[in-house]
Amino acid sequence: MMSAIFFYILATLILVFAYKTITANNPIHCALYLAITMINLAFLFFGLNAPFIGGVQLVVYAGAVMVLFVMVLMLFDLKSEIRAFSRGLFSGLLKIASAGLIFGILSNAIFKTGDLLGLASGGPGMPDPAGTSRDLAIMLFTKYLFAFEALGLLLLLVAVGAVAVSRIKGGTHAN
C-alpha cells in the first residue's frame, strides 16, 4: 500500500519532469529537469528493493554525468543556442523525425507487450536487498566478464580520444 503510493508519486514526478525536459526552451533548464528526473528514478529503484542500482544511478548519472553536462552547458552562449534550438528548417525536421522515432518505439513497445495493465502472475518476487549487490557483482565478474571489460576498454578509448582531439584542435592544452 505505502510503496504503491510512493511509486505513483514518484512516477508522476518523473513524467512531469521528463515532459519539462523536452519542452523547456533554455538548455540549462532542460539539463536540470533531466537531473531531477534521474534523481527520482534513483529513488524509484530504492522503492523497488534494488538499492544498489539506485545508489549507482545517483552516483554515476545524477552525480557525475549530469553535473558535467550542466557545467559544459553553462559555458555556452545561451542566446544563440536557444535560437539555433528553436528555429530553422533543419532543426524543425530533426524534431519531427525524433518525435516520430520515439512514437514508433513507444507504440511498438505497447502493442508487443499485450496485456500491459493486467496483474502480474508469478514472475520473480521482490529481490532480497542485502543479496542483490553481491549477486550483481558475481554476475558481472563471471558470466558477463568479457562484455564488462570490453565496455571498460571502450570508455578508456573514448577518454584517450577526447584528450587527443583537444590537443590537436588548439585551446589551452595545444602543443
Partner 1 sequence: MGSDIFEVGVNFGKMVLIFVMMVQIVPLLVWVERRGSAFIQNRFGPNRVGPLGLTQLLADAVKFIFKEDFLPEKSHRLVFYAAPIMALIPAALAFAAIPLSMPIEITQFEMLGSIWGPYRFVFQGYEIGIGIVFVLGVSSLAAYSLLMAGWASSNKYSLYGALRASAQTISYELALGLSLVGILLLFNTFNFQEIIVLQDKALAFSFFGQEVSLGWLPNWGVFYQPLGAIIFFAAMFAECNRLPFDLPEAEAELVAGYHTEYGGLKMNMFYIGEYGHMLVASALMVTFYFGGYSLGPWLTEETVNGLSQWIVESISPTIVYLMDIPFPESFAAIFEASQNKVNILTAFVFHGVFLGKVLIFLWLFVHVRWTLPRFRYDQLMDLGWKTMLPWALANTILTAIVVLVMRMN
Query: Cell numbers of 122, please?
Result: 508469478
CB of 78 to partner 1, least distance (A): 10
> Interacting stretch for partner 1, rule CB under 8 A, among 80-88, 98-106, 128-136, 151-159?
128-136
DSSP-H helix ranges across the chain: 2-23, 27-47, 51-56, 66-74, 78-86, 89-113, 129-141, 145-168
Buried b / exposed e over 102-112, threshold 16 CB at 10 Å, is: eeeeeeeeeee
* Residue 21 touching partner 1 (CB under 8 A): no
> Interacting stretch for partner 1, rule CB under 8 A, among 15-23, 29-37, 110-118, 140-148?
29-37
Residue type, 144: Y
* Residue 2 touching partner 1 (CB under 8 A): yes
Euclidean distance between CA atoms 82 and 96, whole angstroms:
18
Total site size for partner 1, rule CB under 8 A: 28
* Residue 129 touching partner 1 (CB under 8 A): yes
Residue with cell 552516483: 59
> Interacting stretch for partner 1, rule CB under 8 A, among 15-23, 70-78, 89-97, 119-127?
70-78
Residue type, 154: L
Residues that bind partner 1 (CB under 8 A): 2, 28-29, 32, 35, 39, 42, 46, 51-52, 54-59, 62-64, 67-68, 70-71, 74-75, 129-130, 133
